[in-house]
Amino acid sequence: MSSARLSLTVIVGSVREGRFGPVVADWFVEQAERHAEFTVSLVDLADVDLPLTLPPTPPALRPDLPRPEGMAELTRRLDDADAVVIVTPDYNSSFPASLKAAIDWHYTQWKAKPIGFVGYSGLSGGLLAIEQLRQVLAELHAHTVRDYVAFPSYYLLFSPDGTLRDPKGPEDAAAVMLDQLHWWGSVLHDARRDRPQITRR
């Protein structure tokens, strides 16, 4: 791939009223922009029309599947993305239903792309959600990178103004994950261009 920056889409996964996700996502976007290898866009699922009722033909079998007009921006951002980062809490030891709906309404948009995670929650720091998302995204032929960023007891780690009280550890973790996303994003960008996958389902 050329020296052009990769396109990175960051998704705020929680749509719950009063959620903390936008604070975590804004922090991560700042880290990604500082990394200087990405053009970063932020999508908040609270702003997306995500019906739970899916059409009879799944997106895997119909790439041209018509989607609600309110989903168009999400679809475009996922289409354009060379890499994706999902910001998620744990809800009842899993990930939010809004994320599952966003994933299930798409297919080719995830295929052969690297996915990273930023988790936040109580003791687990979002790890229960992240581990389950790895399994779901593997079914869509996405590649989830090994390293992640986690904020256990996030309410103790962030100041009221949204800044971290002790930023070094999370910033280092974000840099490691962004390096992995950049490497995989570059390799898979070229692979999608030069050797498109043939997948039988």
On average, the pLDDT of the chain sits at: 94
pLDDT bucket at 1, cuts 50 / 70 / 90: low
pLDDT in tens, 32-63: 999 999 999 999 999 999 998 988 888 888 87
Domain ranges in the chain?
6-194
Output the DSSP codes for the chain.
Answer: --SSPEEEEEEE----TT-SHHHHHHHHHHHHHHH-SEEEEEEEGGGS---SPPPSS-TTT-TT----GGGHHHHHHHHH-SEEEEEEE-BTTB--HHHHHHHHT-STTTTT-EEEEEEEESSSTTHHHHHHHHHHHHTTT-EE-S--EEEETHHHHB-TTS-BSS-HHHHHHHHHHHHHHHHHHHHHHHHHHHS------
The CATH class of the 6-194 domain is alpha beta
